[in-house]
Chains A and B, each alone.
Chain A
Amino acid sequence: MATVTIDKLRKVFPTATGGHVAIDDVSFEIADRQFTSLVGPSGCGKTTLLNIVSGVECPSAGEVSIDAEGHQARIGYVFQEPRLLPWRSILDNMLYVQRTRDDATVERCRNYLELVGLRGAEDKYPAQLSGGMQQRAGIARAFSVEPDLLLMDEPFSHLDAITARSLRAHLQELWLETRKTVMFVTHDVMEAVELSDEIVVLAPGGRLHELIPVTLERPRRASDVAVARLKADILGRFEQLEQQKMVTQ
Chain B
Amino acid sequence: MTTVQTHSPPTTGSPDHAIRPRRALPRWLTSPLAARLTSYVAGLLLWQLVATIFDRFPAPLEITSFLVGEVAEGHLVSNFAVTLNRFGQGMLIAVVIGVILGILIGSYRGAEAFLNDINVVGLAIPAVIWALLATMWFGFGDRAPIVTVILSAVPFVTVNVAQGVRAIDPRLGHMSAAFGVPASRRLRHLTLPAIAGYVFAAIRFAVMSGWNGILLSEWFGATSGVGWRARYWYDANRMPGFLAWVVFFIVFMLLVDRGGLGAIAKRSFRWRDGDAAGTTDIVTERV
Could you tell me which A residues sit within 8 Å of B by CB distance?
A: 54-56, 75-77, 79, 81, 83, 85-88, 92, 96-97, 125, 127, 145, 151
Contacts and interface: CB of A to CB of B under 8 A. Distances in A.
A83 B273 contact: no
A76 B190 contact: no
B179 A87 contact: no
Contact of B171 (A76, A79, A87, A127): A79
Given A87-B271, A97-B179, A145-B179, 5 more contacts: A54-B178, A75-B178, A76-B179, A85-B193, A86-B271
Given A88-B189, A127-B271, A127-B273, A83 B181 contact: no
Contacts of A56: 174, 177-178
Contacts of A79: 171, 175
Contacts of B174: 56, 83
Interface in B155-179: 171-172, 174-179
B272 interface: yes
A71 to B, nearest CB: 13
B57 to A, nearest CB: 51
A151 B172 CA distance: 16
A75 B178 CA distance: 8
B189 A77 contact: no
Nearest to A99: B180
Contacts of B175: 77, 79, 83
A86 B271 CA distance: 7
Contacts of A54: 178
> Dominant SS at the B interface?
helix
Contacts of A76: 179
B178 A96 contact: no
A55 B177 CA distance: 9
B267 to A, nearest CB: 12
Contact of B272 (A75, A86, A96): A86
A147 B273 CA distance: 34
A77 B179 contact: yes
A104 to B, nearest CB: 18
Interface string B173-210: 01111111100010001100110000000000000000
Interface of B: 171-172, 174-181, 185, 189-190, 193-194, 271-273
A127 B194 CA distance: 15
Nearest to B192: A87
A77 B175 CA distance: 8
Given A96-B181, A127-B271, A145-B179, A88 B172 contact: no
A87 B177 contact: no
A96 B175 CA distance: 11
Q: Rank and list the top 6 A-B pairs by shortest CB-CB distance, nearest first.
A: A97-B179, A77-B178, A83-B175, A87-B193, A87-B271, A54-B178
A2 to B, nearest CB: 15
Nearest to B169: A83
Nearest to B171: A83
B286 to A, nearest CB: 24
A125 B272 CA distance: 10
B198 to A, nearest CB: 13
Contact of B172 (A77, A85, A92, A125): A85
A56 B180 CA distance: 10
In this complex, the member of A88, A92, A96, A125 whose beta carbon has the largest number of chain B beta carbons within 10 angstroms is A96
Q: Which of A77, A85, A145, A151 is the most central at the interface, judged by chain B CB atoms within 10 Å of its CB? A: A85
Contact of B189 (A75, A96, A125, A127): A96
Contacts of A81: 171
A77 B271 CA distance: 25
A154 to B, nearest CB: 14
A86 B273 CA distance: 11
Contacts of B179: 75-77, 97, 145
A79 B173 CA distance: 13
A82 B189 CA distance: 17
A54 B181 CA distance: 13
B190 A85 contact: yes
A96 B185 contact: yes
A11 to B, nearest CB: 17
Nearest to A151: B178
Nearest to B178: A77
A75 B175 CA distance: 11
Contact of A85 (B178, B180, B189, B272): B189
A97 B181 CA distance: 6
A111 to B, nearest CB: 19
Contacts of A85: 172, 189-190, 193
